[in-house]
Structure 1
Amino acid sequence: MDREQEEIQFLGFFGILKEAGNITTSYRKIFGQITLSIILPLSFIFLAQIQISEFLFGEIIHNEYVLDHTQMGSQRYSKVSDMLSSEWTAFWLFKIAYFIFFLILSLLSTSAIVYTIACIYTAKEITYTKVIKVVPKVWKRLMVTFIWNFIIVFAYNIVTLLVFILWAVTLGPSVIGIVVVIILLLIYLSGFVYISIIWHLASVISVLEDVYGIQAMVKSKGLIKGNTGVCAVIFLILNLCLLGIQVGFEVSVVGGDSVWGRLWYAYLWFMLLSVLLLFGLVIQTIIYFICKSYHHENIDKSSLADHLEVYRGDYVPLTSKDVQLEHFEV
């Protein structure tokens, strides 16, 4: 990152995209190595689970149709019913296994990218070996932050469910009720996007500072003030791109006819997803430095560089004393 921290705060939407592009192209070797080892497997797991889930769910739908047209109490009914139970069990076990592996790779990729960009920011020499040694230590901090985010999202959804139950009991599908439910849906989506932005920034904080978990979430909430709009636009665009890749994969690969055509499209969506994930993580880290700059919190690069060092293979997290949060004059 060639810019001084005072200048970073003035980066807008297109400035952030340009900065992310400059960083990834200038340090293509290290980002290429991280992509090959972590992001490509992450992309493969994400797309593969779509194909496998579609296959398993297709079998379930077929057997449910057969069961509906089979005489209850017959031997065939019992056989199909047992098969259906096994298929549902296999489906949910697969989903759980996918979630675990996807989560692990997601946190590992976040750790690697955030640490790498922090080293670039401090002009510290960075190698793939150094990143791989640091990542497992940083990953544990990110896991705690993720758990707190999961708790917050779960509570948020429970409260939302109760609100919609109250809506159904009091208003229902009347004219006023429809207007109210649309407003409630917009509020819910806005709140969900806001929580997601806080979590993504909290992930960066968990890597670069001495706080993680709920403390990182609280700190993230304070940092995004003044940049919420830009963060929301970037978050929505990245997620729309992700949705586009997912839909494109389902249409052209899962629902495709030609074997060679499906292979070509699978490769295309696979590469696009990998680029999107890498680009998204780079942007996520840049936004952290923008928010710090916006609030006039100047990170001492020398102190940050010292504590990004790997000492005997151990990651040394930043402490509040090491990160000099000094207010600078604009």
Structure 2
Amino acid sequence: MDLANEELQFLSIPDILKESTSIPKQSPKAFYLITLTLIFPLSFAILAHSLFTHPLYSQIQASDPRHTHHQWTLLLTFQLCYLIFLFALSLLSTAAVVFTVASLYTSKPVSFASTMAAIPRVFKRLFITFIWVSLLMITYYAVFSAAVVLLIIAVDVQSPLLFFFALVVIFLLFVVVHVYITALWHLASVVSVLEPVYGFAAMKKSYELLKGKTRMAAALVFVYLVICGVISGVFGAVVVHGGEMYGVFFRIVVGGFLVGVLVIVNLIGLLVQSVFYYVCKSYHHQGIDKSALLDHLGGYLGEYVPLKSSIQMENLEV
């Protein structure tokens, strides 16, 4: 984060990764505690929940359908609690990392205690943005599902080649839009923390910042999702379903290793998310007034914030 504002726009994906992985070295204790208290539980929950749901699914499949009401209730309750816990940890991790990176960017003294003190106010803004993104995602899924049904009705299923081609097009379209919305969400989350906007306004700002950097954002998100998918797939195959093929010790070792890898991937992902925001700001020649940003961050800690401070220097020629 020692680069000048005008230099950030020229960072390539390898440069962003290099810059992101170097940030924890500036405050190793703070990032160590953030990783231990937030990112590790998040990563463990992502992988380990299948260890609990798989036995429940097995019981339901083996039981008489007339006597599975209790099992289904237990499973749905667990899934609901899991989703709440997962998204809460995800938002908390995002708040902690983005706030800490911004503090380092402004040369503000960084500590785990100050980061935790700022999280309650940051969390509210992130949650509102998350609600808006969720509404967008639900709307997209509804429209997409309707389009799929109409396409299946319209396409002649008697022609296997045509039907297969239509399914491939549908799948590619789904992936492209899903990746874009995910990139929009990640950038909007950073905007919600570092700028005086959140919710729909943060999404709009994120949309504007992504212009010109959409391909880079899509590549970063796609690689992240693929890596997470591979980790989850290996965990499911070896740890969850590999009881008959692998021993308990081997599964424990592999499970622990995969959780550790996912912790690193999630930490780097959050750091990249933060750095990419500064890259987009630089690309659009929107300089960041570090003193105003410092005041903005201080506002989360109850410090005095000048009424006229603004961290957005729109169209600033740097």
TM-score by length of 1: 0.90
Instruction: Tell me whether 1:193 sits opposite 2:182 in the alignment.
Output: no
Asked if the contact 2:295/2:306 (under 8 Å) is kept, the reply is no
Where in structure 2 are the equivalents of 1:193-272 lying within 5 Å?
A: 193-256=179-242, 257-272=246-261
CA distance in 2, matches of 1:316, 1:41: 34
| Deviation at residue 46 of structure 1 after TM alignment | 1.6
Name the SS of the counterpart of 1:309 in structure 2: helix
| Deviation at residue 177 of structure 1 after TM alignment | 4.0
Instruction: Tell me whether 1:301 sits opposite 2:290 in the alignment.
Output: yes
Counterpart of 1:140? 124
CA distance in 2, matches of 1:254, 1:314: 46
- The alignment yields a C-alpha RMSD, in angstroms, of 1.9
CA distance in 1, matches of 2:145, 2:114: 46
Q: Tell me the amino acid that sits aligned with residue 197 of structure 2.
A: V
Name the SS of the counterpart of 1:308 in structure 2: helix
Q: Tell me the amino acid that sits aligned with residue 313 of structure 2.
A: L
Name the SS of the counterpart of 1:314 in structure 2: coil
Counterpart of 2:73? 89
Change (3 A) 1:320 1:146: farther
Mean Cα displacement is larger for which, 94-103 or 166-175? 166-175
| Deviation at residue 56 of structure 1 after TM alignment | 1.1
Identity of aligned residues (%): 37
| Deviation at residue 326 of structure 1 after TM alignment | 4.4
Q: Tell me the amino acid that sits aligned with residue 208 of structure 1.
A: L
Q: Tell me the amino acid that sits aligned with residue 218 of structure 1.
A: K
Instruction: Tell me whether 1:159 sits opposite 2:148 in the alignment.
Output: no
Q: Tell me the amino acid that sits aligned with residue 33 of structure 2.
A: Q
| Deviation at residue 317 of structure 1 after TM alignment | 8.6
Asked if the contact 1:209/1:320 (under 8 Å) is kept, the reply is no
> Which one has a bigger Cα radius of gyration?
1
Q: Tell me the amino acid that sits aligned with residue 281 of structure 2.
A: K
Change (3 A) 1:290 1:45: same
CA distance in 1, matches of 2:240, 2:165: 37
CA distance in 2, matches of 1:320, 1:240: 44
Change (3 A) 1:155 1:132: same
Deviations 1:109-155 (A, max 9, x none): 00000000000111111111000000111001111111111111111
- Within the candidate set 117, 133, 153, 1:169 is matched to 153
TM-score by length of 2: 0.93
Counterpart of 1:77? none
Where in structure 2 are the equivalents of 1:283-294 lying within 5 Å?
A: 283-294=272-283
Q: What runs of 5+ residues in structure 1 fail to find an aligned partner?
A: 68-79
Asked if the contact 1:304/1:318 (under 8 Å) is kept, the reply is no
Change (3 A) 1:21 1:274: same
Counterpart of 2:302? 314
Change (3 A) 1:320 1:168: farther
CA distance in 1, matches of 2:237, 2:305: 45
